[in-house]
Amino acid sequence: MILGVIADDFTGATDIASMLVRGGMRTIQVIGVPQGPLPPADAVVIALKSRTTPAAEAIAESLAALACLRKHGAKQIFFKYCSTFDSTAAGNIGPVAEALLAALGSDLSIACPAFPENGRTIYRGHLFVGDQLLSDSGMRQHPLTPMTESNLVKVLQQQSSGQVGLLPYSTVAQGVAAIQAGYQQLRHNGVRLAIVDAISDQDLQDIANASVDLPLLTGGSGIALGLPAAYAAKGWLRPSANADQLDPLTGPAAVLSGSCSLATNAQVQHWLTAGRPAFRIQPQALAADAAVAAQALAWASTQTQAVLIYATTSPAEVQAIQAELGVAAAGELVERCLAEIAIGLVAAGIQRLVVAGGETSGAVVQALQVNQLRIGAAIAPGVPWTQAADRPLLLALKSGNFGTVDFFSHALQLTE
């Protein structure tokens, strides 16, 4: 293993895994800290659910993940979080990064969530989302991690006990040697965590090349774009042309959708408009204890083409259902039902399963007891096909806002 990644959420883990595969690294994603052996891979990504848990829990889980990755020989560790730095003053990025740094006996790490391809750039320590400062973007209103400060040096300093500094764009733009000299200067100034400016893919490549000898990197998946080439230059990696190759499984297919995002609503509508088979799940029926999962499975067993089973609905209807059943209860009812349907579909021989929704994907993967995924080719940026390591099952796990309107049929086509 060259790189061991600790990701603070599930779909973020898949996102960085997809980036590494794109660079020719054979990559495995595991859900939670693995207890048993790991198959050979260039990179292992451990998906935690530590973004918004209490800091002490996030630290303990991250240190357990670190111990596992080190035991399996990781040469470098990457702490992955969101490219919009979803983390308030009381967030976990600083505490976890500092704990990892201390455990690795290292004196300096970087924090670089830049992802220019997705419009996330950092200049003078300030994070931009497209043309807007982070604090003017939609992230301002995020339900769990509202970002009202764009200066990441300030945000990270509020979370950290050690000193936080900045490696400014004027240095990054001068290339690898200047960046490394910048790290020396930061060390000299007592900085433990440095926000690193980056506005282009070339910047990310230079930062990766300059950072291969840092025991710990932290950031979004953007910076992982430069790592495979940096490892190849160092002689650690022979990039594989078929790192994204999964088993050619072409058996029956299904789509499960529990996301109610705008993008997923459009994707469901696109499937319905094409006249493809679909079964709708109504939370009210679940609350009334109807055998909805059994009905859905019985219906699916009569279909000859790929099916869509969905609870996806408009924001207004979600609100009405939540008012009636309660937010958490409505979500749980739907997640449990879709998870039960996933078990039934796989038992009936489904080999290709597309799941829409971050929480929904988590519930499905947990119910199927899948704990290792091989990462394949990207369907959309950040969403690869994956394969359960222990059985002939392909999974495409899409977080709400990803993918174009034809995502479901496009994903299935790629496996045909």
Stretch that binds ligand ADP, among 35-43, 84-92, 196-204, 353-361 (CB under 6 A): 353-361
Non-local (6+) Cβ contacts of 365 within 8 A are 10, 31, 395, 397
State how far the alpha carbon of 235 is from the alpha carbons of 42, 229, 242, 355, in Å.
13, 10, 19, 38
- Residues 371-410 close enough to bind ligand ADP by CB under 6 A: 399-400
The yes or no reply on residue 258 touching ligand ADP (CB under 6 A) is yes
Nearer to ligand ADP (CB atom), residue 143 or residue 235: 143
Stretch that binds ligand ADP, among 69-77, 171-179, 192-200, 254-262 (CB under 6 A): 254-262
Stretch that binds ligand ADP, among 36-44, 256-264, 298-306, 376-384 (CB under 6 A): 256-264
Stretch that binds ligand ADP, among 12-20, 188-196, 271-279, 326-334 (CB under 6 A): 326-334
Nearer to ligand ADP (CB atom), residue 14 or residue 261: 261
Answer for which of 95, 357, 382, 384 binds ligand ADP (CB under 6 A) is: 357
Answer for which of 100, 112, 330, 341 binds ligand ADP (CB under 6 A) is: 330
The yes or no reply on residue 360 touching ligand ADP (CB under 6 A) is yes
Stretch that binds ligand ADP, among 74-82, 95-103, 192-200, 253-261 (CB under 6 A): 253-261
Answer for which of 259, 265, 351, 387 binds ligand ADP (CB under 6 A) is: 259
Q: How far apart are CA 2 and CA 250, in angstroms?
A: 32
* 114-146 exposure pattern, b = at least 16 Cβ within 10 A, e = fewer: bbbbbebbbeebbbbbeeebbbebebeeeeebe
Least separation in angstroms between residue 59's CB and ligand ADP is: 25
Least separation in angstroms between residue 98's CB and ligand ADP is: 29
CA angle, corner 135, sides to 132 and 139, nearest 5? 90
Answer for which of 69, 100, 207, 321 binds ligand ADP (CB under 6 A) is: 321
Stretch that binds ligand ADP, among 230-238, 257-265, 272-280, 286-294 (CB under 6 A): 257-265
Answer for which of 107, 117, 359, 406 binds ligand ADP (CB under 6 A) is: 359
Least separation in angstroms between residue 372's CB and ligand ADP is: 22
Binding mask 281-320 for ligand ADP (x = CB under 6 A): --x---------------------------x-x----x--
Nearer to ligand ADP (CB atom), residue 173 or residue 272: 272
Nearer to ligand ADP (CB atom), residue 77 or residue 383: 383
Instruction: Note whether 377 and 398 are within 8 A (CB).
Output: no
Residue with tokens 């980056």: 198
Q: Which residue is nearest to ligand ADP (CB)?
A: 400
Nearer to ligand ADP (CB atom), residue 237 or residue 286: 286
Question: How many chain residues touch ligand ADP (CB under 6 A)?
Answer: 21
Answer for which of 331, 376, 382, 384 binds ligand ADP (CB under 6 A) is: 331
Chain residues in the site for ligand ADP (CB under 6 A): 258-261, 264, 283, 311, 313, 318, 321-322, 330-331, 334-335, 357-360, 399-400
